[in-house]
Amino acid sequence: MAALEYFEVECPEPLGAEYYRQIANDVLLDHNLLKVVEKLHIWIDPKVPVFVAVGTLRRITTLVRVRDFVNVNPLEGKMTLVISDETYMAPMLKIFWEKFGKDHVEQPDRFTVMLYDVKADPREIEEIVVADPSESLFRDLIYALRCIAPEGFRLRKEKFDKTKFSFVASENTLAEDIDALVAEKFALIGVKP
Amino acid sequence: MMLVPVTYKGGIYQHDIITDLIEDLGGYIVQKHIIASEVVLQCFVPKEDIELIRRIGKPLFGEVTDSPLVGTEIAVVSMSLEIHHLPHPSCDIAEYVRRIGAKSNMVSLARGPGKRIAGLNDEERDVINEHDLAVFLLGNFETCIEYKIPKLRRGIDVPVILCGGPDEAALRRITDPPFDGYVGGVGRFMRRTKEAEQLEKLDEIIRVITGVVEKKREAIAKDPLSVSPARLMDLIREKVPAILEVTSPTPLTVQMRGLRVKLPFDTFAETLKKMEIEDGITLGDVAEVLPSRMRDYILVKILPFSETNMVV
């Protein structure tokens, strides 16, 4: 887990902590969140029972542009776009339809898009912003933390802002002083809640 | 004649030679799968004729391997159907057990997860009890397993193998009375089992299951069943043609002490009871025909010799 600056799982049962470290690692990896999360501290006490995850986030400034996954080849009267990664194909087509109209956009196969009679400069097309990964970040992060937390822990309290997050879950009503526990865990990663 | 469970794998070309041979030798084919150009037969064959099948199967690229779990139906009990427990490890284990001949069913509990909130309802209990044995897949924390396991095992009377994150010694310590088998270090995980270490764990589960199945077979041998489940399967296939129209992969599921017949109970229970096995002895004389809790299937429980005083 090289991408995280700090990653710790604390639990009164050492073997349980080891397993949860592995689960957290796998889930963050599967959801492509390793680049986004900077520090992560997880505290699980199965006796209470309670699951607390606190962490900090990296700033995501990169926007996904057409040039990141497309090769634009202009020819007379038409442009051939060769796609190397299909992930953002749908939002890209949507933007093209709005901008140029459906009559001018054609997709003959999975990895090719043709633009006909488009007056725009190829460079201009390359610069079009297709997606902003930070938009779905919080949704993805909450989903990932729900996957990491034990399933029976269905009472949750989440707090997110642009730089840090906390996630508390339990199967019992959360204690009134749960914020103190969260603050304590935040202190371990050097952050003020 | 002692029948042993084996798997035959070979080319599809002329595989009917093998199926005929097994039937002629007095064996039974429990399941037949045709996968592309390969055929897999899970069957019971006479022990002394295995070499003969090997010899005849050789020109057809046939291989005969021991499959101790053929003719068993195993419940893999997962705590829920959520992403937390599926597809790993529940499906991985169910699939691995299937490879060596068992018919595995996944039973997911409605309120399995958690510690205080975990529980087992009557339908789940009955469905688990319809199997030959159950593999309980629990989580990673000793505290939770210790707390919830008395509730989850209540009313379960089939042998249970307990799998969980803590090591085997810890699992043994926290469960009383002891289960029939334990496999430690297999709790909740979120990755596919493909590395050598993880496959070794799956093999360990198989070893434990095989041990429990063999013990059960020994117990059955002391008081043999009135009719062999595999024979009954063949007879039902022959005498109740409606079973041939069932599209389920295993319309007749052989268990160690009976059969699951995937036909509606109300329509076919009487037909089954009246089905003649041999010399006027009907199925109703040697077995109980019961409604299954799984859909509207029929469960045939074969009675032992001590109760019927006959073996057909």
- Residues A107 and A120 both lie in one domain: yes
Q: ipTM of the predicted structure?
A: 0.88
- pLDDT value at residue A75: 86
- Could you tell me the two tokens for B58? 């050789």
Closest to A147 (Cβ–Cβ): which among B83, B141, B166? B83
A138: confidence class by pLDDT, cuts 50, 70, 90: confident
- Could you tell me the two tokens for B68? 């101790």
What total of structural domains would you count in chain A?
2
DSSP-assigned beta bridge partners for residue B289? B300
Contact yes or no for A152 and B118 at CB 8 A = yes
Find residues 12-51 of chain B whose CB sits inside 8 Å of chain A: none
Q: How far apart are CA A160 and CA A5, in angstroms?
A: 19
Overall average pLDDT of the B167-181 stretch: 95
Q: Please report which helix (H) or strand (E) contains residue A42, including its range.
A: strand A37-45
| Domain end point (choices A131, A146, A169) | A131
B190 lies within 8 A of chain A by CB: yes
Contact yes or no for B114 and A150 at CB 8 A = yes
Overall average pLDDT of the A160-179 stretch: 92
- Could you tell me the two tokens for A32? 């492509």
Query: Could you say which architecture CATH assigns to the domain B3-66?
Result: 2-Layer Sandwich (3.30)
Closest to A151 (Cβ–Cβ): which among B84, B141, B189? B84
Q: What percent of chain B has pLDDT over 70?
A: 100
- pLDDT value at residue A134: 79
Report if residue A172 sits inside a domain: yes
- Residues A147 and A57 both lie in one domain: yes
- Backbone region of residue B244 per phi and psi (left: phi > 0; alpha: psi in -120 to 50; beta: other values): alpha
- With 80 as the cut, is the pLDDT of residue B1 above it? no
B187 lies within 8 A of chain A by CB: yes
Q: How far apart are CA B236 and CA B275, in angstroms?
A: 8
- Residues A72 and A154 both lie in one domain: no
Query: Could you say which architecture CATH assigns to the domain B73-220?
Result: 3-Layer(aba) Sandwich (3.40)
Closest to B141 (Cβ–Cβ): which among A13, A154, A172? A13
Q: Which residue range(s) make up the domain with A48?
A: 6-61+134-188
Instruction: Determine whether B227 is exposed, middle or buried from the number of CB atoms within 10 Å of its CB (0-12, 13-18, 19+).
Output: buried
- pLDDT value at residue A44: 96
Report if residue A193 sits inside a domain: no
- pLDDT value at residue A133: 80
Residues of A with Cβ-Cβ distance to B174 under 8 angstroms: none
Q: What percent of chain A has pLDDT over 90?
A: 70
C-beta of residue B114 within 8 angstroms of C-beta of residue B152: no
C-beta of residue A169 within 8 angstroms of C-beta of residue A189: no
Find how far residue B230's CA is from the centre of its chain. 13
SS3 of residue B151 by DSSP: helix
- Residues A57 and A69 both lie in one domain: no
- Residues A39 and A124 both lie in one domain: no
Closest to A151 (Cβ–Cβ): which among B113, B142, B143? B113
Find residues 117-146 of chain B whose CB sits inside 8 Å of chain A: 117-118, 139-144
Least confident of A114-123, B204-213, B277-286: A114-123
- pLDDT value at residue A132: 85
User: Torsion over CA of A116, A119, A121 and A122, rounded to 10 degrees?
Assistant: 0
- Condensed to tens digits (0 to 9), the pLDDT of residues A164-173 reads 999 999 999 9
- Residues A57 and A78 both lie in one domain: no
- Residues A46 and A76 both lie in one domain: no
Helix axes B90-99, B196-222, angle to 10 degrees: 60
- Residues A57 and A148 both lie in one domain: yes
Q: How far B129 CA lies from chain A's nearest CA (Å)?
A: 25
B194 lies within 8 A of chain A by CB: no
- Residues A26 and A53 both lie in one domain: yes
A76: confidence class by pLDDT, cuts 50, 70, 90: confident
**Nearest residue of chain B to residue A21 (CA atoms):** B189
- Condensed to tens digits (0 to 9), the pLDDT of residues B197-226 reads 999 999 999 999 999 999 999 999 999 999
Overall average pLDDT of the A152-157 stretch: 93
Overall average pLDDT of the B176-205 stretch: 93
Average per-residue pLDDT for chain A: 91
**pTM for the structure as a whole:** 0.87
- Residues A151 and A163 both lie in one domain: yes
Q: Find out whether the peptide bond into B87 is cis, omega within 30 degrees of 0.
A: yes
- pLDDT value at residue A112: 93
Average per-residue pLDDT for chain B: 94
Overall average pLDDT of the A29-42 stretch: 91
C-beta of residue B128 within 8 angstroms of C-beta of residue B103: no
Overall average pLDDT of the A69-95 stretch: 90
Residues 6 or more apart in contact with residue A98 via CB below 8 angstroms: none
A118: confidence class by pLDDT, cuts 50, 70, 90: confident
B173 lies within 8 A of chain A by CB: no
Contacts 24+ apart (CB under 8 A), A179-182: A181/A43, A181/A50, A181/A52, A182/A52, A182/A54
- Residues A83 and A118 both lie in one domain: yes
SS3 of residue B90 by DSSP: helix
Report if residue A1 sits inside a domain: no
Which among B27, B26, B23, B15 has a CA at the least distance from the CA of B56? B15
For chain A, the residues whose C-beta falls within 8 A of a C-beta of chain B are 13, 15-16, 19-20, 22-23, 26-27, 30, 44, 46-47, 49, 147, 150-154, 171-172
- Residues A143 and A54 both lie in one domain: yes
- Around Cβ A185, how many Cβ atoms within 10 Å? 22
B79 lies within 8 A of chain A by CB: yes
A1: confidence class by pLDDT, cuts 50, 70, 90: very low
